[in-house]
Amino acid sequence: MSTESSTTDFVVQGMTCGGCASKVTGAVQAVAGVTDVRVDLSGGRLSVTGPVDEAAVTAAVEGAGYAVSRA
Ligand SMILES: [Cu+2]
């Protein structure tokens, strides 16, 4: 793992379309410290870059209406 640009992966359940992906992306982008968000819709994966608080990311995704756990 790189310390310079750490990326944390999560598994998101319930994303079914591009709208879901952008909803999750927008919610996570609003979390403090997040510098990049990537969502893999088909794989149900979320990659968050930056010095982020996992609990804050989890809360953001859950707030958007999806179940999430660490990958
Ligand atoms: Cu959707």
Q: Are 40 and 17 in contact (CB under 8 A)?
A: no
- State in Å: Cα 14 to ligand 1 middle: 8
- CA–CA separation, 56 and 15 (whole Å): 19
Task: Tell me the domains of the chain and their CATH numbers.
Answer: 7-70 (3.30.70.100)
Å from CA of 30 to ligand 1 middle: 19
- pLDDT greater than 60 at residue 27: yes
Q: What is the pLDDT of residues 36-68, one digit of tens each?
A: 999 999 999 999 999 989 999 999 999 999 999
How many other β-carbons are positioned within 10 Å of the β-carbon of residue 49?
Answer: 16
How remote is the CA of residue 57 from the centroid of ligand 1, in Å? 19
Q: Is this model's pTM higher than 0.75 or not? A: yes
